[in-house]
Amino acid sequence: MGRKVDPNKWDPEAGFVKGPGQEVKDINKEIITVNNEIHAAFMDLKQTDDFITAEKIKQRYAGEDTSQRMLLEVFDEHNKNVEELVGKDFVKATLTKYNTVRSKTAEYIQHSNTPDREKVRAMMPTVGDGSYALHLMGW
C-alpha cells in the first residue's frame, strides 16, 4: 500500500486506522480492499494448487504468478494442438469450430474495453470441452 499512518491513530488489534475524517475512511477502505484481494488470491490457489505458500499468495496477489495466461494465448495453443491432430483424432470441422470460437472471443474482448477479462488461469491447454487435454491423458 505504501501509506504512512500516525502511530497514535493506528489500532493494532483491529488492524485499522481509528478516528474521524475522509483520509481515515479512505485508508481503512484500501486496507479492506487489499485484504479481500489477498483472500481471493488464497481461495483461488486453494482450488488450483495442492501446496500453498505465503510466497505463492503474494505472487498471485501481485499478478506475478506464472499460472495466469491470456485467454487468446490458451485458444491459440489449443487450436494449434488440435490442428496437429486433424486427420488422426479430430476432423477439420472441429478445428474450424474452435477457430470460430476464438475469433468471436477476440471480437468480444476487443469491444469489451476491459483487458482484465482476458486473463484466465490455465491449468491445462484446454478450451471448450477439454477434448485435447483428455486426449493427452489417454482418455
10 Å CB burial of residue 92 (0-12, 13-18, 19+) is: exposed
Q: Are 30 and 2 in contact, with CB atoms under 8 Å apart?
A: no
Percent of the chain past pLDDT 90, that is, above it, reads: 42
Of the two residues 117 and 65, the one the predictor is more confident about is 65
Whether residue 93 sits in one domain with residue 116? yes
Last residue of a domain, one of 20, 35, 62: 62
Note whether residue 76 is domain-resident: yes
Last residue of a domain, one of 40, 62, 84: 62
Note whether residue 24 is domain-resident: yes
Cα 135 to Cα 9, 40, 73, 96: the distances in Å are: 60, 32, 20, 19
- Radius of gyration (Cα) for the chain, nearest Å? 22
Note whether residue 54 is domain-resident: yes
Note whether residue 90 is domain-resident: yes
Predicted structure pTM score: 0.47
Report the alpha-carbon distance of residue 25 to residue 20 in Å, rounded. 8
Number of domains observed in the structure of the chain: 2
Of the two residues 77 and 65, the one the predictor is more confident about is 77
The per-residue pLDDT for 105 is: 86
Range of the domain at 15: 7-62
Whether residue 84 sits in one domain with residue 52? no
